Structure 1
C-alpha cells in the first residue's frame, strides 16, 4: 500500500520583530536591569535603551557582545536584525507599489499573457504583487531602474507611427528574447564568420523548419549572434528585432507573426543586415513599413534581397514582359537555389504579383505546443 507524502509549502511570515523586543524578554527572564546589562556588555545605558526601543540596529559587534552576556548565538541576533531590515524594506516597497503612478505603470504590461507563459507567478494578483513580479521579470530593482535600463537604448521603428507596437508590450517581448538568450552561450561576435553563414543561407531555405532552425541557430551562435524565436505579444506588430545584448553578443529575435517562410527568411536576413551594417546602440524593431521607411531600413531590405535572391536576378525576372507563370517562378527559384515561396513573397512585395497569387508555393510555419 503506497503512502502519500504530504509536502507543506514553506511558510514565510509577513511580519518581523526588532531584536530589541527579544533582548527585553531575555533581560526580564534573567532579572537584569538595563544598567546591569549595559555594564556587562560594555555599552552605554543610552545605547541599550535605543536598541530596546527599536531605534538602533544590532550590529555584528553588538551581536557578539550579546552572545557573551546572554549565551544566545551572535548569528541569531544577526538573523533577527536582517529579518527586521528586510521587513522594513518590504513595507517601504509596498507603500511605493500602492501609489497610482505604479498602478498605471503595471497596467501597461501584458500581464495575462506573461502569466500564461510562466514568467509571472499565478499568485501575483494585486498591483503591488505584480509590481514586484514585473521588476523581477525585467531584472531591475525599481520602476526608475526600468527606465534607466531601457531608455539607454533608442528604438528604431520600421513602422509608421500609426502602426507602431505598444512600448510596454515591445519591451516585454524583447525581454522574453533576452531571457532565452541568457540561457545559452555563444562565441564572441565575429563579422566574418557571420557573413560566411549568410552566404550559405539559400540552401537552408530549402529545408523544413524542423531541420534548418537548429542548424541556423547553432551557426549564428558560432558567429556570436543569438537567434531566438518568441511568440508575438498583444499590441506588438513586429516580425523581428535586432540589438546588442553586450559588446560581443548580438540578438536576432523573430516573432513568426506571419507564419510563412518568405516572411521568416526575409525578416532574418533583414535583421542580419542591421547587425552587420548599423550601429550598436539602437534596438531595430521591424515590420511592414506602411509607407514610412528610412535609409537604415532600406539598407537592411536591400541586404536581405541581395542575400536571398540577388538584386540583379530578381530585377531581371521582374523586367520580363507579361504576367509571370508558376512554372517560370519555380524555374527561376531552382536556378538560384532558393525556395520558391521566398521569390513569390518578393514579387508580391514589389507588386509584380497580387498578394492572392501563388501563395501555395509558400511554406507555412506555426508554433508547436
Structure 2
C-alpha cells in the first residue's frame, strides 16, 4: 500500500507553511497577501503561524490568490486542527441552546438515536450523543455542522445541524462494525466483487455481502436514515486512521442511485484519502473531487467498451434490458447512467429501475 493511499496526511504543520511555499513559488510577499485578502499584517502573521482560522471566505481568497480549491484550504485547516486535537470552529463556541434549536429532535428520538442515553436528562442525553469524552460535544456537533456548511451550495436546503447529527449517528453505528485495518489496495481489488452485487434485487441479499466486503478492507458501511433537514444520499469520512466509513441513506430508494452512490463513495476513499469528509446530495458543491468521484463511479458501472453501445442502443425496454445484461448491471442502473449522460431524459424508462421500500431496508437502518 502506498503512503498516498493511507489516511495519514503529513500535515502536522499549519496551513501557513503551505501558504508560505505558495508565496515563494510565485515570488510574492506577505504584504501582497495582506492586500489581496483584505487582512491586517497582524492577522496575516497569525494566519501564517496557524493562529487564524481559515473559514469559507478566507479559503475563497486563498484559492483566488494562491490557487488550489476552496475545499483544499478548508481541508488543510480541518486536518491541521484534527492533528493538534483542537476544536475546529469559525467563531466563538456555540451555546448548547442555539445548537439544540437546530437539531431534528423528533426524528432523532423516533429513529432511536438517543435510546442509549435514556438514563440522562434531555439536554444531557443530546450532549452525550455528540460526545466521545465529557464536554467535547462542540467538536462533533457545531464544529461538524460548520464543516458541512462549508460544503453546502448557496442554494442549499439542508440544515447543517441535521446533517451533523446524521453523520454522528453514522460514526456511532460504524463503531459496532468490526473491521480489518483500512487497506486501499484490498478495497481496489474488491471492486469486481462489489460490482457483482449490482444485479441482486433485494437489499436483504446484497447488503450483508456489501458490508462484509467493506469489513475486510477496513471500511464500515452503514445505512443511516436521514432526519428532517438532511438531504444527503451518502458520505465518506474516517473514524480513525485505520477505519473508514461509508454512510448511505437510501434516500432515493432506487437501484441506480444506490449503486452509483456506493461507487462514488468508494471513489473518494481511493482517490482522495487525505480529505476529512465528503457529503453527497443535491445541496452540496460540485468540486473537482466530486467530479472525479462521479467519473470513477460511472466507469465502474459502465466500462468504457460499452459507451458506444449506450449511444446506439434502441430506446426500447427490451433492447435496454439485453444491453444491461451484457454490461453486467441491472436495467435500472443502465437507464440511470444513460440519463446522467443525457442519452435519455430523466422521465424516460424509469419503470425499469428497481425501487426499494423502507420495509426492505428497515433491518439495516441504524
Q: TM-score when scaled to structure 1?
A: 0.65
Q: Are 1:162 and 2:178 an aligned pair?
A: no
Q: Which structure has more RCO (C-alpha within 8 Å, separation ≥ 6)? A: 2
Mapping of residues 266-277 of structure 1, within 5 Å: 266-277=260-271
Is the CA contact (8 Å cut-off) linking 2:128 and 2:134 kept in structure 1? no
Partner deviation per Cα, 1:189-216 (whole Å, 9 max, x = no partner): 1112111221233321111221111011
Root mean square deviation of aligned Cα = 2.7
Report the counterpart of residue 335 of structure 1 in structure 2.
Answer: 326
Mapping of residues 253-272 of structure 1, within 5 Å: 253-272=247-266
Q: Greater CA radius of gyration, 1 or 2?
A: 1
Alpha-carbon separation, structure 2, partners of 1:176 and 1:123: 13
Alpha-carbon separation, structure 2, partners of 1:201 and 1:122: 33
In the TM superposition, residue 357 of structure 1 has moved relative to its aligned partner by 1.6
Q: Are 1:119 and 2:113 an aligned pair?
A: yes
In the TM superposition, residue 234 of structure 1 has moved relative to its aligned partner by 0.5
CA shift in 2, pair 1:102/1:209, >3 Å:
closer
- Give ranges in structure 2 of 5+ residues lacking alignment: 1-93
- State the secondary structure of the residue aligned to 1:276: helix
Report the counterpart of residue 213 of structure 1 in structure 2.
Answer: 207
Report the counterpart of residue 77 of structure 1 in structure 2.
Answer: none
Is the CA contact (8 Å cut-off) linking 2:199 and 2:329 kept in structure 1? yes
1:241 maps to which of 217, 235, 243: 235
Is the CA contact (8 Å cut-off) linking 2:114 and 2:126 kept in structure 1? yes
Alpha-carbon separation, structure 1, partners of 2:151 and 2:326: 32
Q: Are 1:193 and 2:186 an aligned pair?
A: yes
Q: Are 1:325 and 2:316 an aligned pair?
A: yes
Q: Are 1:131 and 2:123 an aligned pair?
A: yes
CA shift in 2, pair 1:289/1:308, >3 Å:
farther
In the TM superposition, residue 264 of structure 1 has moved relative to its aligned partner by 0.4
- Give ranges in structure 1 of 5+ residues lacking alignment: 1-99
Is the CA contact (8 Å cut-off) linking 1:242 and 1:275 kept in structure 2? yes
Is the CA contact (8 Å cut-off) linking 2:218 and 2:244 kept in structure 1? yes
1:363 maps to which of 354, 357, 362: 354
In the TM superposition, residue 167 of structure 1 has moved relative to its aligned partner by 1.1
- State the secondary structure of the residue aligned to 1:273: helix
CA shift in 2, pair 1:243/1:123, >3 Å:
closer
Is the CA contact (8 Å cut-off) linking 1:158 and 1:288 kept in structure 2? no
Partner deviation per Cα, 1:164-196 (whole Å, 9 max, x = no partner): 521110111011111111112100011121112
Alpha-carbon separation, structure 1, partners of 2:152 and 2:263: 18
In the TM superposition, residue 141 of structure 1 has moved relative to its aligned partner by 5.5
Partner deviation per Cα, 1:239-276 (whole Å, 9 max, x = no partner): 10001110011000000000000000000000000011
Is the CA contact (8 Å cut-off) linking 2:311 and 2:343 kept in structure 1? no
Q: TM-score when scaled to structure 2?
A: 0.66
Q: Are 1:347 and 2:341 an aligned pair?
A: no
Alpha-carbon separation, structure 2, partners of 1:156 and 1:268: 23
In the TM superposition, residue 114 of structure 1 has moved relative to its aligned partner by 1.1
- State the secondary structure of the residue aligned to 2:247: strand
